[in-house]
Chain A
Amino acid sequence: MKLLIIEDESSLAESLKEYLEGEGHVCEIVANYDKAYQKIHVYNYDCVLVDITLPGGSGLDLIDELKKMHAEAGIIIISAKDSLDDRIKGLELGADDYLTKPFHLSELNARLNALMRRKQYKGDRQFEVGKLTVYPQKKEVEAEGELLDLTAKEYDLLNYFITNANRVLTKEAIAEHVWGDHYDMVDSFDFIYVHIRNLRKKLQDKCDDDPIKTVYGMGYKFLNK
Chain B
Amino acid sequence: MKLINKTQQIYLGLVVVLLLVWSGVFLYAISSAIQNNIDETMQSELQVAVYRAQNEGSLQTLSTNQIEVKKISTIRDTIVSFSDTSLYNSVEQESFPYRQVSTQARINGKAYQVTMRRSMVEYDDLFETILIMEIIFVVFLVGGLFLINRTVLQRLWSPFYETLRQLTGYELEGKPIEWNDTEIDEFRQLNDVLKDMIGQIEKEYQSLKAFTENASHEIQTPISSMLNRIEVMLQDESLSKDQWQRLQQVGQAARKLSRLNKALLLLTKIENRQYAEAETIDLTDLIKDLAPEYRSLAEAKNISMDMDIESEAKVEMNPELAEMMLRNLLSNAIKHNENDGKVYINVRSGELVISNTGPEPDGDPDQYFQRFQKGEASSTSLGLGLPIVSAIAQTANIDIDYAYEAGMHTINLRF
- How many CB-defined contacts (below 8 Å) exist between A and B? 109
Shortest distance in angstroms between A217's beta carbon and chain B's nearest beta carbon?
Answer: 6
Contacts of A22 in B (CB 8 A): 232
Known pairs A153-B296, A191-B300; A102 contacts B223 (CB<8 A): yes
Q: Is the CB of A102 within 8 A of B255?
A: yes
Q: Is the CB of A105 within 8 A of B228?
A: yes
Interface residue ranges of A39-76 to B (CB < 8 Å): 51, 53
Known pairs A82-B262, A184-B259; A102 contacts B220 (CB<8 A): yes
Q: Is the CB of A11 within 8 A of B225?
A: yes
Q: Is the CB of B301 within 8 A of A12?
A: no
Q: Is the CB of A193 within 8 A of B331?
A: no
Q: Is the CB of A12 within 8 A of B224?
A: yes
Q: Is the CB of A9 within 8 A of B221?
A: yes
Residue in contact with B225 in the complex, picked from A15, A168, A186, A217, CB distance below 8 Å: A15
Q: How many residues of A contact B (CB 8 A)?
A: 42
Interface residue ranges of A89-141 to B (CB < 8 Å): 101-106
Contacts of B262 in A (CB 8 A): 82
Residue in contact with A12 in the complex, picked from B221, B299, B320, CB distance below 8 Å: B221
Complexed CA–CA distance, A89 and B231 (Å): 30
Q: Is the CB of A187 within 8 A of B378?
A: yes
B191 within 8 A of A: no
**Which residue on chain B has the smallest CB distance to residue A99?**
B224
Interface residue ranges of A191-209 to B (CB < 8 Å): 191, 193-195
Shortest distance in angstroms between B33's beta carbon and chain A's nearest beta carbon?
Answer: 87
Shortest distance in angstroms between A219's beta carbon and chain B's nearest beta carbon?
Answer: 9
Q: Is the CB of A187 within 8 A of B232?
A: no
B258 within 8 A of A: yes
Shortest distance in angstroms between B110's beta carbon and chain A's nearest beta carbon?
Answer: 122
Residue in contact with B244 in the complex, picked from A12, A184, A218, CB distance below 8 Å: A218
List 6 additional contacts besides A53-B217, A102-B228, A188-B300; criterion CB under 8 Å: A80-B220, A101-B223, A104-B227, A105-B228, A172-B255, A194-B300
Chain B residues with a Cβ under 8 A of chain A: 213, 216-229, 231-232, 234-235, 241, 244-245, 248, 251-252, 254-255, 258-259, 262, 269, 296-297, 299-301, 320, 327-328, 331, 334-335, 378, 380-381, 385
23 of the cross-chain contacts (CB-CB < 8 Å) are A9-B224, A11-B229, A16-B228, A19-B232, A79-B217, A80-B217, A80-B218, A80-B219, A83-B269, A101-B220, A102-B228, A102-B254, A168-B235, A185-B327, A186-B297, A186-B334, A187-B378, A188-B301, A188-B334, A190-B300, A194-B300, A217-B245, A218-B234
Chain A residues with a Cβ under 8 A of chain B: 9, 11-12, 14-16, 18-19, 22, 51, 53, 79-84, 101-106, 153, 167-168, 170, 172-173, 182, 184-188, 190-191, 193-195, 217-218
